[in-house]
Structure 1
Amino acid sequence: MEMEKAREALMVEEEASELVSRLDVRPHRAGRDASFYEGFALRGIRVDHIQPGLLTCSFKVPPRLTDSSGNLSPGAIANLVDEVGSAALHADGHHMKVSVDMSISYMSTAKVEDELEIISRVLGHKGGYSGTYVLLSNKTTGQIVAEGRHSLFGKLKSKI
């Protein structure tokens, strides 16, 4: 009985399945082309200011990253916290690290075509761990959309 409920909950409607089948996913040539992920989720982020440990970006909310209510989806916000937080580490001179933990407070919504300001600061480093703080706000109203804390880990030097 429970298994049937689980299968029902995981069923994809025909319309949704059709939309997914029409996605244009091309092979990614590393270093030459944008990957599907970069072209879909990261397209439109503009770096406004960069200095060690601080990154300020602008982002106009595209329809492809909104939920059924027309709001920037929580997953897209989490993605922005992850990517812009990681980019602040690169601006601070650190190499690639992987996300260990993210804590995000969703304060208000952002609609299609709203322009967001995204500020990311490096909070600090301890061994291979680093922490960042990311703030997303509406550029027009100043209203905070979300704030996140992001911890990452990576070995400082490769042994390869």
Structure 2
Amino acid sequence: MEEAKEFLQLNKEEAESVSRLTIHPHRLGFQCSFYEDFALRGIRVDSVQRGFVSCTFRVPPRLTDKSGNLATGAVANLVDEVGGAIVHVEGLTMNVSVDMSISFLGTAKLNDELQITSKVLGRRGSYSGAIVLVRNKVTGELIAEGRHSLFDKHGSKL
């Protein structure tokens, strides 16, 4: 544990750099939050139908690993966001992720254009499920398949 703490400790220059960051709180209807700007910038919604959404996303440098591949954490974020968006009901608060399962089947490189599709698998009470497929738009190669389960407190009797 001590080794982990030591590894994560910021040096003086890093600490000063972090202390100068200005991150404004997110206000609905105003500017994007840091998270939205960093992780979600560049997603373009192509089509929305009942229970289905299709998006396009070009892999930016900020979401790649040292090998130039789309980071697995970025793929997990896409599954979370697009899977959550497909089950969202306008006017209600966002659902809470209960479970995500992701199969990583390929890699995406910097500037690859991805096709992200999501479909509602079903709803039962307060529980919803979605599947998210991430493909290379040019080659059709399946990069990842995610299953996302969400809970909505509004439908709950608790």
TM-score by length of structure 1 reads 0.85
SS in 1 for 2:29: coil
The answer on whether the counterparts of 2:126 and 2:156 sit within 8 Å (CA) in structure 1 is no
C-alpha distance 12-153 of structure 1, shift in aligned 2 (>3 A): same
Q: In the superposition, relative to structure 1, how do residues 43 and 19 fare at CA in structure 2: closer, same or farther (>3 Å)?
A: farther
Residue 105 of structure 2 is aligned to residue 112 of structure 1? no
Distance 1:61 1:23 in 2: 25
Provide the rounded CA distance (Å) in 2 between the counterparts of 1:18 and 1:111.
Answer: 33
Residue from 56, 59, 63 that aligns with 1:58? 56
In structure 1, distance between residues paired with 2:120 and 2:39: 23
Report the alpha carbon displacement of residue 126 of structure 1 after superposing the two structures with TM.
Answer: 1.0
Q: Secondary structure at the match of 1:156?
A: helix
1:141 and 1:101 map into 2 onto residues whose CA distance is 30
The structural deviation recorded for 1:33 is: 1.1
CA distance in 2, matches of 1:17, 1:67: 23
SS at match of 1:50: strand
Out of 37-46 and 7-16, give the one that drifted further: 7-16
2:143 to 142, 145, 149: 145
Q: Which SS does the other structure have where 1:141 is aligned?
A: coil
Distance 2:152 2:13 in 1: 42
The match for 2:26 is 28
2:48 aligned partner, one-letter code: I
- Mark the CA change 1:27 to 1:156 in structure 2 (over 3 Å): closer, same or farther: closer
- SS of 1:112's equivalent in the other structure is coil
2:46 matched to which residue of 1? 48
**CA displacement 1:90-131 (0-9 Å, x = unmatched):** 37x694211011000111111111000000000001110000
In 2, distance between residues paired with 1:117 and 1:22? 37
**Which sections of structure 1, spanning at least 5 residues, go unmatched?**
none
Q: 1:94 to 1:147 in 2, by over 3 A?
A: farther
Aligned-pair distance for 1:8?
3.3
User: If the length of structure 2 is used for normalisation, what is the TM-score?
Assistant: 0.86
What letter corresponds to residue 113 of structure 1 in structure 2?
A: N
Please give the alpha-carbon distance, in whole angstroms, between the structure 2 residues aligned to 1:72 and 1:18.
29
Q: CA RMSD in A?
A: 2.6
Q: Note the residue ranges of structure 2 that are not aligned, 5 or more in a row.
A: none
